Amino acid sequence: MAIRKILRYGDDFLRKEAKDVHKVSKKIQDLVIDLLDTMYASNGVGLAAPQIGEGYRVFVVDVSSNDEPYNPIVFINPKIIKKSGATISREGCLSFPEAYTDVKRYSNVMIKALDRKGRSFVLEAKDGTLLARCIQHEYDHLDGVLFVDHAIDKFEVEEQLSKNNLPPLEINRILEEKELDEEINKLLEKIDTKNENE
Ligand code: ZN
């Protein structure tokens, strides 16, 4: 199929909520192929349809390492049905070339979706693995949420954005994440206690 243009941060389309797929038609299957082609061509581990200007609830991930065979996973109309634990993870995004920052994520997620043939499946990703984090990152794109909205250090994000000629942080988009913050605090306490005991 085709390698598509990836929208950059600053494009309003990235902030739009995507629509459910009513039927996994040929058009949607072609979109999945474009997403995979574009993700692999950009050396990404995930890509969501809104990033290529398609407002459908579809994303793809492949967290296999370079020496492993491709292992694409396709998510259509995904729903995160369970989430727990917390982790801090350094992330980037194909819509934010060269910008990276630490963000808050759940460590464990259970997600339900349709695969590229329209069959329902449930997948569990645990322990803050790349897969668990990547699923949350891509899922967010379907709701117009971007990784910088979960940022821990606003100043670092500002620095990263300006260094890479990207628009400034949208402060009003920063998420209030009470549940996740509580988990993060527990995590930090655990690290502190561990340090004291050493
Ligand atoms: Zn992204």
Q: What is the pLDDT of residue 148?
A: 97
Per the annotation, the verdict on 138 as an active-site residue is yes
Q: What is the pLDDT of residue 196?
A: 77
Query: Could you give the number of structural domains in the chain?
Result: 1
Residue 112 located in a structural domain: yes
Annotated catalytic residue within 17, 54, 68, 138: 138
Residue 7 located in a structural domain: no
Helices H / strands E in the chain, number of each: 4, 7
Q: What is the pLDDT of residue 193?
A: 80
Residue 128 located in a structural domain: yes
Cα 62 to middle of ligand 1, angstroms: 13
Q: What is the CATH number of the domain that holds 53?
A: 3.90.45.10
pLDDT over 70 percentage in the chain: 99
- Averaged over successive runs of 10 residues, the pLDDT of the chain (198 residues) comes to 95 98 97 98 97 98 92 98 94 97 96 98 97 98 97 93 96 89 84 77
Residue 5 located in a structural domain: no
pTM score of the predicted model? 0.93
Cα 119 to middle of ligand 1, angstroms: 25
For 190, residues 6+ apart whose C-beta sits below 8 A from its C-beta are: none
Q: What is the pLDDT of residue 77?
A: 98
Which structural domain, as residue segments, surrounds residue 47? 12-197
Residue 106 located in a structural domain: yes
Residue 65 located in a structural domain: yes
| pLDDT single digits (tens) 105-130 | 999 999 999 999 999 999 999 999 99
Cα 148 to middle of ligand 1, angstroms: 10
Residue 115 located in a structural domain: yes
Cα 79 to middle of ligand 1, angstroms: 17
Question: Is residue 166 a contact partner of residue 8, using CB atoms and an 8 Å limit?
Answer: yes
Q: Rg of the chain's alpha carbons, rounded to an integer?
A: 17
